[in-house]
Amino acid sequence: MTGHFRSSVWDPLLILSQIISMQAIYYLSLGFWIFVLDQIAVFDLSVEQMFTMNDLGLSEDSGRTNVIAFALNSLTTAFGIWLVVGRTKQCLDFSVTILFFHFIGSWIYNAHVPQTFWWWLTNTVSLVFMTVLGEFLCMRSELKAIPVLGPKVDL
């Protein structure tokens, strides 16, 4: 496989560490955005806001705040995908993996599968934002010109 740029080698340790890193980035940034928006809107801060199914939607102020936090988090996580993964072809895979583990966490926290329309809509829109922005950022990095010659040296 010599001579190929970024040859794909199966490295399960790298993939597992990227998944763990991205999950940590997802929850840390979600916690950050919920904290900031709760301070602005003067709501009570709780872990339930990360895994809630009932407090998502546009009918109440707290629901709108949570939807905004999830939208901002998807944009922040897209930057994390760009920094940690850096491959356009893997953005969708990592976005789905992140939200799949969030689905499992919500299922465990609430003791049943998420059933509300707003939970599914919020996470689907987050998936789209995360994937599209992550692919855009990774594609910009991958399409940068590779300098063929180093700096000119006057001999």
Per-residue pLDDT reduced to its tens digit, 107-139: 998 888 888 888 899 899 999 999 999 999 989
Residue 115 in any domain: the answer is yes
Residue 34 in any domain: the answer is yes
Residue 154 in any domain: the answer is no
Amino acid at 122: T
Query: Looking at residue 113, what DSSP letter applies?
Result: -
Q: Cα 133 vs. chain centroid, distance in angstroms?
A: 10
Higher pLDDT, 23 or 142: 23
Q: 20: how many CB neighbours lie within 10 A of its CB?
A: 12
Per-residue pLDDT band for 1 (boundaries 50, 70, 90) equals very low
Full residue range of the structural domain in which residue 120 is found: 13-139
7-59 residue pLDDT tens: 567 778 988 999 999 999 999 999 999 899 888 887 777 777 788 777 777 77
Residue 152 in any domain: the answer is no
| Total domains, the chain | 1
Residue 125 in any domain: the answer is yes
Nearest alpha-carbon partner for 142 in 7, 6, 1, 12: 6
Nearest alpha-carbon partner for 30 in 82, 68, 81: 68
Cβ-Cβ contacts under 8 Å for 79 (sequence gap 6 or more): 133, 137
89: three-class secondary structure by DSSP: helix
Residue 92 in any domain: the answer is yes
Return the structure tokens found at 1.
């496989």
Residue 91 in any domain: the answer is yes
Element containing residue 77 per DSSP (H, E): helix 61-84
Per-residue pLDDT band for 155 (boundaries 50, 70, 90) equals low
Per-residue pLDDT band for 99 (boundaries 50, 70, 90) equals very high
Residue 38 in any domain: the answer is yes
61-88 residue pLDDT tens: 777 888 889 999 999 999 999 999 888 8
Query: Looking at residue 88, what DSSP letter applies?
Result: G
